[in-house]
Amino acid sequence: MRLVFLLLSLVAIAGCDRSDPIVLIQLHPTNPDIMYVATNDYIYKTRDRGQTWTNLSQGMSHSRVISMAVDPTYPATVYAGTKGDAVFKSHDGGQRWVSMRSGLDDATISSVVNQFVFDPAESNHIYLATTMGVFETNNGGDNWIKKMEGMKEVLMVVTLGMDSSRPEVLYAGTSGGVYKTSNKAARWDKVNNGLVAPDMIKTSRALNVTAVVVDPFASDTVYAATLTGLYRTTDGAKSWTRIGQSLADQMIIGMIVDRTKQGVIYISGRDGIHRSEDGGSTWKTMNRGLITTNVRCIVQSSTDPKVFYAGTNGSGLYRSGDGGETWDAMPAIVPVKATP
């Protein structure tokens, strides 16, 4: 009896209890069976749509992984961004990791690596959003170069959004609102008209941009999610308009702009998941099946646009196969031993 209890205890320690927060979900670009998730303690990988999981944290530092990216051209290549130990890279789907911190040594040791963005024309060309600014690599992370020309008032970059039709155009969500570049991050211009009042730039209340997404159907339409509401521009960020005022909770953590249906937006936060089908004017709550409505992250499948995954603070991982209308809890993450 004591042996059974000990074994169950070890499984609980090594695995992901449903109460563990799901910090991120990273999907494979072409294989729907493969996905990665991170909790506060470990990163895991499944090859069978969540039926079994492998702990991939061996060989990494003890710093939390809070961002991941899969190379769209060579998907066995995976990047992980940490909270305090820069960037790690794997060439074999997460089995082995190598630190890729050249150029980041003095900048991100105590900072947060928030997001990776690939150049669609060259997957070794990557932009990095960190709490110490924007960085760029042209060689798959062998070297990183800081790209902050024009961002004089800010340091913390929370998120990046790229215009897929014009990849030289990027938007940066920062500690002082939104910045825009039209020349591959050579220079950034502040584009806060209607978004952040000038007297708030240097206050803690300005630390609020959580996601910036360019509309795939209209490149001058951009959505900015913040901890105090949702904004939209239709003129390439010359001016912003507040939308989504009917939402009960204005603290928005995650956002997806549907790549197959124009005007369809999903947002997530402490009040669950909401969907708009008219560019943010009206909203529908999409929480059916969720035990916990505090949703940490949400992603749309790259192979089936009706499939979504949501990670929660308190009840694990969920999957929807009908565009978010209903959610099914996925099995708890109990990892198997990694294959050598």
Report yes or no: 205 and 154 within 8 Å, Cβ to Cβ.
Answer: no
Return the pLDDT at 4. 32
Helices (H), the chain: 2-14
Give CA–CA dist 155/114, Å, rounded: 13
C-beta separation of 27 from 299 below 8 A: yes
**133-159 confidence digits (pLDDT tens):** 999 999 999 999 999 999 987 778 999
C-alpha 141/C-alpha 91 separation (Å) is 12
Question: 221 to each of 160, 262, 298, 312, how far by Cα in Å?
Answer: 15, 11, 21, 29
Contact 315/321 with Cβ under 8 angstroms?
no
Provide the residue count of the chain: 340
Residue reference for tokens 């997530």: 268
Using CA atoms, how far apart are residues 335 and 333, in angstroms rounded to an integer? 6
Distance CA 237, CA 215 (A): 12
Global confidence as pTM:
0.90
Tokens of residue 22, six digits: 């799901």
Domain boundaries, the chain: 2-336
Does domain 2-336 match CATH 2.130.10.10? yes
CA distances from 215 to 24, 181, 198 (A): 22, 17, 27
Residue 129 pairs in a beta bridge with 115, 134
pLDDT of the chain along its 340 residues, tens only?
Answer: 333 333 323 333 345 555 679 999 999 999 999 999 999 889 999 999 999 999 998 877 767 899 999 999 999 999 999 988 889 999 999 999 999 988 886 655 556 899 999 999 999 999 999 988 999 999 999 999 999 999 987 778 999 999 999 999 999 999 888 999 999 999 999 999 998 766 665 554 555 799 999 999 999 999 999 988 999 999 999 999 999 999 999 999 999 999 999 999 999 999 999 999 999 999 999 999 999 999 999 999 999 999 999 999 989 999 999 999 999 999 988 766 555 4
Contacts of residue 113, defined as CB under 8 A and 6 or more positions apart, other chains included, come to: 66, 67, 81, 82, 83, 86, 87, 128, 129, 130
Q: Which residues of 107-146 are buried (b: 16+ CB within 10 A; e: fewer)?
A: bbeebbbbbbbbbeeebbbbbbbbbbbbbbbeebbeebeb
Q: Which residue bears the tokens 């708890």?
A: 332
Region for residue 279 given its phi and psi (left: phi exceeds 0; alpha: psi -120 to 50; beta: otherwise): left
- Contact status, residue 36 vs residue 47, Cβ threshold 8 Å: no
Q: CA quadruple 160, 266, 88, 108: dihedral positive or negative?
A: positive
Distance CA 243, CA 279 (A): 9
